[in-house]
Amino acid sequence: MSSEYKTAPTQVDPWEFINTVDTSAIRRQDARVLTELMEEVTGQPPRMWGPTIIGFGEYHYKYASGREGDAAAVGFSPRKASLVIYGLQYPPKAPPLLEKLGKFKSSVACLYINKLADIDLDVLRELIAMTYEHSTTTDIQSLQSQRD
């Protein structure tokens, strides 16, 4: 059984998306900085996943339930309320780094950051590298309870 992932890669240019996203000039500038940072850390070019997520690299997941699909290894979305970064909490060694990151809110799979000035970019760099490695080298079935 296969379930189609709702957020699939598109042909939209991520830089054009950033330039046209309906948000503040500061949020657009932070999105540019974050795009450059993620590209540098992952070695992967930015790619749009769905209408609003800028992702880097990808991985395939398959859960015991039969659900499977592809997702960005690491990514973010520049939303009006905050920058939303996906997956940084998944690596087992992430919690101590998250404590040093700075000001953010979180949910199961996302970090919500008001502006990059609120966080330590060196710590963010470490978290991005750790998340990218974890996403591209780990059996993602262990994440079933968080995503399925």
Is a pLDDT exceeding 60 seen at residue 144? no
Model pLDDT, residue 122 = 98
Whether the model clears a pTM of 0.85, i.e. scores above it, the answer is yes
Mean predicted confidence (pLDDT) in 41-65: 92
The domains of the chain, with CATH numbers, are 14-142 (3.90.1150)
Question: 79: buried, middle or exposed (CB in 10 Å: 19+, 13-18, 0-12)?
Answer: middle
Sign of the CA dihedral with 136 first, then 132, 34, and 8 last: positive
Is a pLDDT exceeding 90 seen at residue 138? no
Mean predicted confidence (pLDDT) in 114-134: 96
Model pLDDT, residue 86 = 94
Is a pLDDT exceeding 50 seen at residue 145? no
Number of Cβ atoms within 10 Å of the Cβ of 143 = 18
